[in-house]
Structure 1
Amino acid sequence: MSAPAQTASAPLPRSAIMPPMVTPLAPDGGADAASTASLVRHFQQQSLDGALVLGSSGENALLPLETKRAVLEAALEARDPETPFHVMAGITAMGPADAVAQVQALSELRPDTLLVPAPVGFGFSPAELHTYFATVCDATDVPVVAYEVPGRTHVTLGAALLGRLADEGRIVGIKDSSGQIGLVQDYTALTAERPNLVLYTGMETSIDAVLLAGGDGAIPGLANVFPQFHLRLIALAREGRWEDVRRVQQSINRLHDIYFADVAGASFSAGFFAIVKDALVQGGIIEHATVSAPFTDCAPLVHDHVRRFLDLGAELSEALPALDSVSA
């Protein structure tokens, strides 16, 4: 079966920063459409290239489909049509039937791309993974980006499978959050041979290395809160100023410690969501720091921790390397 023609209203941007947007929730756990719209507008005002909606950072595995649709709809309606802004929608599923139902429901809203990882729960073979991706990709005319995230799926997609899917016209990009430098090298070689295939990294503490190796951009969680660092990093990379890129990466890595706040009874994920959302609440961008059940509600306990890192971010921003006047 051949893949359907894939079209997007906003093509995948290269040399891009697109945050994996946290999902603003109302106190009852439902979608907070107003805060979602505010966050999208904030991203556009910061000159970000787009956003991943309903990714892992968006608590996608815990949200019912109707909430996912409400969040995606609010995000799509909020963007300024006069400014290019790519909206990617995340899929997470246990198997092909679940994935196809999500893909078709979200495709009706016309996101620009869909981000699809391997199904969770089993260690599938490459042949089985090809069957899965073919089934999912052929169920939509929205372009698909394959998500390499073995820490969640417990299986590696690999260059052979992704190259085959690209050559079949079933995927237009890769998001690599493997944390494996060998895979980065495999995937940059893959995209170098396929000029229309885009590679983003989700490895926040080594964006500079991936860009130097030939990656196209990043989908970093910290860009929800500190986008100025990621935008400066990628602009400096365009100029080939790799020593300055490394300096900005070091600042990002200092700010990365915001994720680590020891809260009794809370998982790392609960802390992550509460920390990022509380930072956005403190910035007046979203209204609530609500997290999905059964995560521990620990926003009040991380408030001071977040404030310290927001102050650190402001301090480090003052030392960001300047851009060349031609590029500024």
Structure 2
Amino acid sequence: MPAKLRKTPLEGIVVPMCTPLVGNDQLDREGLQRLTESLLAAGVGGLFLLGSTGEGPSVNDSTKRDLVRRVCQQTAGRVPVLVCVTDAAWGDALSLARHAADCDADAIVFAPPYYFKPSQRDLYEFASQLIDASPLPTVLYNMPGFTHCEFEAETVKRLLDDSQVIGVKDSSGDLDYFEAIAGLVRQRDDCSLFMGPEELLSQAMSLGADGGVCGGGNVQPQLFVDWHRALAEGRLDDAATLQRRVAELGKIYRVPSDATSPFIVGIKTALELSGVCSGMPALPSQRPSRAQREEIASKLVEIGVLQA
């Protein structure tokens, strides 16, 4: 089956959406609706489902499918929807890709399979076969911190020969690697490049990034949209001011320091305190302590997200 073309170019702030939960593998459906609408209202460039911030590896298949269906229905083509299908099992990744296509998502995203660390030769075969079989175009996702395997530059170069690869997201935090991948992506005029860590967006844009996949955009989407726009338009003083605000928001990510994923717990707690959705994380993560929750609330008051 030929891959569908994406509806619009991939650029700007693509928010890696949290997966609102009210119990183990139970979606907070009303919260999900509010979160989705708040992101769309801010003018984000796209929605990225079931990535690291979306706790994709920690929710079951039926929850993933329900999430994808609901977000695609609500989005209704207003922005591209990207679905992460990363899995250790090739067939399960393809099954979710087909479901994403059935829901009218725009692209799949996948990182290297985890548990058994593949060689680059094996990774290329895994990826190329998934790209060929997927009914949707693909964004490659380099996330060695979690998968313990990197899409090496030569492997990316080979995979970019396939026109169904429409983007690369790099979350390694390695700017030398990012610059090398930027050089490969620039050889095509129909491929996008995204930075994962939000604190590196400014440097990434100077190296040719089309945008960022910024978890903090769940909490303050307009801030990130404005920041990207300032960078893209060369308004560096404005961008620097906005980046300082982004850094202040980032302080909440470090508060639940004993959590499995402090970043996710911090963001979800902020969303709950803001009245957007439940802050329950997926297991094995736990909610923050009362003291941690109060500290997050205090920081949100300081930056104007909450009223005192």
* TM-score, structure 1 as length reference: 0.87
Instruction: State the shift of 1:105 in Å.
Output: 3.2
Note if 1:254 corresponds to 2:260: no
Choose 171-180 or 245-254, whichever is displaced more: 245-254
Q: Distance in 2 between matches of 1:49 and 1:94?
A: 29
Q: Flag the 1:194–1:40 CA change in 2: closer, same or farther, 3 A.
A: same
% identical equivalent positions: 24
Question: In the alignment, is the contact (CA less than 8 A) between 1:110 and 1:142 conserved in 2?
Answer: no
Equivalent residue for 2:220, pick from 218, 226, 234? 226
Change (3 A) 1:140 1:63: same
For residues 281-324 of structure 1, the C-alpha deviation after alignment (integer angstroms, 9 at most, x for no partner) is: 222222x2112122223264532122122223228xxxxxxxxx
Q: Does 1:43 align with 2:39?
A: yes
For 1:133 and 1:147, how far apart are their aligned partners in 2? Answer: 11
> C-alpha distance in 1, partners of 2:292/2:71?
27
In the TM superposition, what whole-angstrom CA distance separates every residue of 1:170-220 from its partner, at most 9, and x where no partner exists?
Answer: 411000101101111111111211111100110211100000111100001
Does residue 156 in structure 1 map to residue 154 in structure 2?
no
Q: For 1:22-37, what aligned pairs fall within 5 Å after superposition? A: 22-37=18-33
Q: Structure 2: which amino acid aligns with 1:267?
A: A
Moved over 4 A (4+): none
State the secondary structure of the residue aligned to 1:248. helix
Distance 2:196 2:215 in 1: 8
2:43 alignment partner AA: S
Would you say how many aligned residue pairs link Structure 1 and Structure 2? 305
Q: What is the match of residue 299 of structure 2? A: 309
**For each residue in 1:100-126, what CA deviation from the matched residue of structure 2 results, as whole angstroms up to 9, or x when unmatched?**
233233332221111110001233222
Letter of the 1:10 partner, please give it.
K
* Gapped regions of structure 1 (runs ≥ 5): 316-328
Contact 1:29 1:291 survives alignment (8 Å): no
Deviation at 1:99, TM superposition (A): 2.0
Distance change (3 Å), C-alpha of 1:85 and 1:68: same
Q: Output the CA distance in 1 between the equivalents of 2:104 and 2:76.
A: 15
d(CA) in 1 for partners of 2:92 and 2:10? 29
Q: 1:21 corresponds to which residue?
A: 17
**What amino acid is the match of 2:7?**
A
Aligned residues of 1:104 and 1:139 also touching (Cα < 8 A): no
Counterpart in 1 of 2:272? 281
**1:65/1:8 CA distance change after superposition, 3 Å:** farther
TM-score, with structure 2 as normaliser: 0.92
1:93 lines up with 2:87 in the alignment: yes
Once the two structures are superposed, what CA deviation does each residue of 1:29-71 show, in whole Å capped at 9, x if it has no partner? Answer: 4122222121111111111122111111111101111110001
Tell me the residue number matched to 1:319.
Answer: none
- In the aligned structure 1, how far is the partner of 2:6 from the partner of 2:74? 15
Q: Alignment partner of 2:113: what SS?
A: coil
**Counterpart selection for 1:64 from 60, 78, 85:** 60
On the 8 A contact 1:255/1:312 being kept in 2, the answer is no
Check whether the contact 1:103–1:136 (CA below 8 A) recurs between aligned residues. no
For residues 258-300 of structure 1, the C-alpha deviation after alignment (integer angstroms, 9 at most, x for no partner) is: 101146xx4241x3333212211222222x2112122223264
- Segments of structure 2 that go 5 or more residues without pairing to the other structure are none
* Alpha-carbon separation, structure 2, partners of 1:48 and 1:231: 6
Alpha-carbon contact 1:206-1:249 (below 8 Å) kept: no
Contact 2:72 2:105 survives alignment (8 Å): yes
1:267 to 238, 259, 269: 259
Which AA in structure 1 matches 2:266?
I
Instruction: Look up the match of 1:325.
Output: none
Change (3 A) 1:152 1:127: same
Distance 1:254 1:268, change over 3 A: farther
Match of 1:181 in 2: 175
* Kept after mapping to 1: 8 A contact 2:205/2:231: yes
2:1 aligned with 1:7, yes or no? no
User: Residue 193 of structure 1: SS of its match in structure 2?
Assistant: coil
Q: Distance in 2 between matches of 1:205 and 1:248?
A: 12
Residue 205 (str. 1) matches residue 205 (str. 2): no
- Distance in 1 between residues matched to 2:72 and 2:60, nearest whole Å: 19
CA displacement, residues 60-110 of structure 1 (integer Å, 9 cap, x when unaligned): 1011111100011111111255xx311111122113233223323333222
1:64 is aligned with what amino acid?
N
- Change in CA separation of 1:203 and 1:273 when aligned onto 2, cut-off 3 Å: closer
In 1, Cα distance between equivalents of 2:143 and 2:291: 30
